[in-house]
Amino acid sequence: MTETRTTAAHGGAIGMHGIKKWFGNFQAVDDVTLDIRSNEFFTLLGPSGCGKTTLLRMIAGFELPTEGQVLLDGVDISSLLPNQRPVNTVFQNYALFPHLTVAENIGFGLKMLGKPRSEIDSVVKDMLKLVHLEGRGGNPVTQLSGGQQQRVALARALAPRPKVLLLDEPLSALDLKLRKSMQMELKRLQTETGITFVFVTHDQEEALTMSDRIAVMSTGTVRQVGSPWDIYDRPAERFVADFIGETNFLEAEVVAVSGDRARVRLSSGAEIPATFPADVTPGGKVTVVIRPEHAQVGTPSPASVLRGIIREIVYLGTDTHFHIRLEDGTTFTVRQQNARSGSCGFSKDDAVGISLSDDVAQILRD
């Protein structure tokens, strides 16, 4: 698991215990228990309709749980109104005031809290520096680019120094290059402020890039919580493996088990080692997951674990994807980094062999 920072003194540890949420006859959240550590970047990741935004809104106070408790630093805040919680939210549409300047937008929350003008001016100056908008305080927000407006929204939310900052897919409206730049900006801001960030997204790459830990959600439940490495390289179940990145699933039979390792026989007859998250027994039928970048394509040989015919070759600049139809009819994808020569050495309909490194295969729970 990824270590979290402990140097900041803001607090912000969140507990969600036995949370259920019903909207009429529809259950949006089903018995979720989560502990979000103080001062970490925590992401709720999942497909549309999985309940992640509903969870975020219950932390903010915009929705109340049907059952369960929301705790902040050990205190039950489930019944508090949004303005009674030391929590701020950044939304998809930024929600800036177009008739105000950048500085007036950033200082708006502090003004509503009755802070003296000298304190507002000082904090606004610090926030402008933090989000790299020095010298733009007097500009109308309508003159800013989408990325700059996003930074103003972040500065406004951070200005009152909340214990927790909630971010509801705030980068979804940005183009790809700007989104990647803002991902780094968000991580930097979280590191420099030491505030607990809770981020909602359906973008797997976004979650892997920024998060200390990720909760993968589906149909109102949390399927796995872990560091980006845990989630990607050690998925706990098939849904997580399938949702996070591209992957290959192979049917296999367990040949032998020793400790946390098993030996499995693939349909090709080849036997490979595999790790597993749950008890398996020799003779059992299992599903094995292998990431495309953990396999290598080459000329067929006796050492090939799998064999097949290349059906598609997709060039993606940094790497090439080979979509291969195996002898048993299964489709298998291999991703290889491109060489400077610009040629992958293979063509569509070529017969190829696939080799695997040790410890790349994992048995999954269904």
pLDDT tens column, 209-246: 999 999 999 999 999 999 999 999 989 889 999 999 89
Tell whether 225 and 281 lie within a shared domain: no
Of 247, 231, 224, nearest to 294 by C-alpha is: 247
181-to-106, 157, 168 alpha-carbon distances in Å: 21, 19, 18
The tokens describing 200, both together, are: 């909602």
**Mean pLDDT to the nearest integer, 139-155:** 89
Residue indicated by tokens 């491109």: 338
Q: How far apart are CA 10 and CA 165, in angstroms?
A: 12
Task: Name the more confident of 181 and 332.
Answer: 332
> 114-130 burial by CB neighbour count: b if 16+ within 10 A, else e?
ebeeeebeebbeebbeb
Do 194 and 215 share a domain, yes or no? yes
Looking at the structure, tell me whether residues 223 and 301 fall in a common domain: no
pLDDT of residue 7: 33
pTM listed for this prediction: 0.87
pLDDT tens across 106-138, in order? 999 899 889 999 999 999 999 998 888 998 999
Q: How many CB atoms lie within 10 A of CB 311?
A: 12
What are the start-end ranges of the E strands in 176-301?
Answer: 196-201, 213-218, 221-226, 248-258, 261-266, 271-275, 285-290, 295-298
Select from 234, 259, 287 the last residue of a domain: 234
Q: Name the token pair of 129.
A: 């520096």
3-state SS class at 59: helix
Same domain (yes/no): 214, 347: no
Q: Closest by alpha carbon to 212, among 40, 46, 35? A: 40
Q: What is the pLDDT of residues 45-95, one digit of tens each?
A: 999 999 999 999 999 999 999 999 999 999 999 999 998 999 999 888 878
pLDDT tens profile 285-333? 999 999 999 999 999 988 889 999 999 999 888 899 999 999 989 999 9
pLDDT at 365 over 90: no
Enclosing domain of residue 253: 246-363
How many independent structural domains does the chain possess? Answer: 2
User: Is 318 within a domain?
Assistant: yes
What local confidence, expressed as pLDDT, does residue 118 receive? 93
Domain assignment present for residue 4? The answer is no
Higher pLDDT, 198 or 174: 198
**Residue 79 and residue 195 in one domain:** yes
pLDDT confidence of residue 344: 72
